[in-house]
Amino acid sequence: MPVPSDEVGVAPRGPVAAGGDAVPAIHAVDLTKRYGHIEALAGLSMSVPRGEIFGFLGPNGAGKTTAVKLLLGLTTPTAGDAWLLGEPIGRAQARRRVGYLPELFRYPAWLSPVEVLQFHCRLIGVPGSERGAEIDSALTIVGLRERGRDRVGTFSKGMQQRLGLAVAMLGAPEIVFLDEPTSALDPVGRHDVREIIRDLRGRGTAVFLNSHLLSEVEQVCDRLAVVDRGRVIASGTLDEILSGGSGVRLRVTGLTGLPTLLARWGEVVSDGEWISMRGVADDDVPDIVADLVARGGRVHAVEPQRQSLEDRFLEVLRAADDGAAA
């Protein structure tokens, strides 16, 4: 089951790692931000290892953007501590090793992608002798190599999104923060971005992904956290988040009192010959079928069911709202 707390894979205070592992890419302890009487982020604790794609989900106003701004050193915390790659947040040593694609960005319409990337190479300190190869590689990865000399003002929103991704990838960053990276893309573009994100993970880069497109998160993230009202209300791997929503649907004849017989396996809903069960582990399904057959039942169909991330996301938010109102 997801962890209903403010802690996401928490390690001890400070950017230390257990068992000789590498220092985490991101480590935060009780990170808090208040604006007057408004608590935008309420004691976020988390540890994201290198080479992991981490999804950060929540409704508008949940605290996601505040968390990213704090981690990037764009604003200062009211309380708590955080580190990027072992360096306290806000230090230039860490920022040089971080790539960032904000949700809302604009590049001057009169510049070309090559010129945009040259400017950012200078900002992050890429040596002049390496800039050409760096820019060519980034444009090739995002599919803009043939448009490198065109004006940004002629680009569609999706092409500008690709250019933003190219900027975020300059300098071989060890962490990349992506805020809604596929929001302006068509299905082919979203597929390409997923492949880019997976490639980053393969290189050992940590990817911190904000997205409201839950289907995208479901396809690429290793772990995720759901944030609401400044607090983490659920966290874990995708399987852990969805564990409460797995189930099976059975069509059974020849037995009476099926709901009573099956109650020990999980939540049961009967609809004539069809039985729906929630909270059932995959490994239990063969045992359920064998038990029904042993009792003289005939099992005509077995249909595994899994709750979507969107449904689970809404369910977790409703549960948090109910708890807050209690």
Q: Where are the domains of the chain?
A: 7-235, 242-309
Surface-to-core class of residue 27, CB atoms within 10 Å of its CB (0-12 exposed, 13-18 middle, 19+ buried): buried
What pLDDT score was predicted for residue 13? Answer: 53
Give mean pLDDT, residues 115-124.
94
What pLDDT score was predicted for residue 15? Answer: 58
Asked if pLDDT for residue 175 goes beyond 60, the answer is: yes
Task: Answer yes or no: same fold for 7-235 and 242-309.
Answer: no
pTM of the model: 0.76
Q: Residue 278 and residue 312: Cα distance in Å, rounded?
A: 13
Q: List strand residue ranges (DSSP E) for 149-297, in order.
A: 175-179, 206-210, 223-228, 231-237, 246-253, 267-271, 274-278
Classify domain 7-235 at the CATH topology level: Rossmann fold (3.40.50)
pLDDT confidence tier of residue 27, bands split at 50, 70 and 90: very high
pLDDT confidence tier of residue 5, bands split at 50, 70 and 90: very low
Between 166-170, 208-212, 319-323, the lowest mean confidence (pLDDT) is in 319-323
Give mean pLDDT, residues 63-68.
87
Mean pLDDT, the chain, rounded, equals 83
Query: What CATH class does 242-309 carry?
Result: alpha beta
Between 12-26, 40-54, 252-266, the lowest mean confidence (pLDDT) is in 12-26
What pLDDT score was predicted for residue 193? Answer: 86
Asked if pLDDT for residue 242 goes beyond 80, the answer is: no
What pLDDT score was predicted for residue 168? Answer: 94
Q: Residue 55 and residue 293: Cα distance in Å, rounded?
A: 43
Give mean pLDDT, residues 208-217.
82
What pLDDT score was predicted for residue 2? Answer: 37
Q: Residue 99 and residue 168: Cα distance in Å, rounded?
A: 4
Asked if pLDDT for residue 310 goes beyond 70, the answer is: no
Higher pLDDT pick, 302 / 279: 302
pLDDT confidence tier of residue 191, bands split at 50, 70 and 90: confident
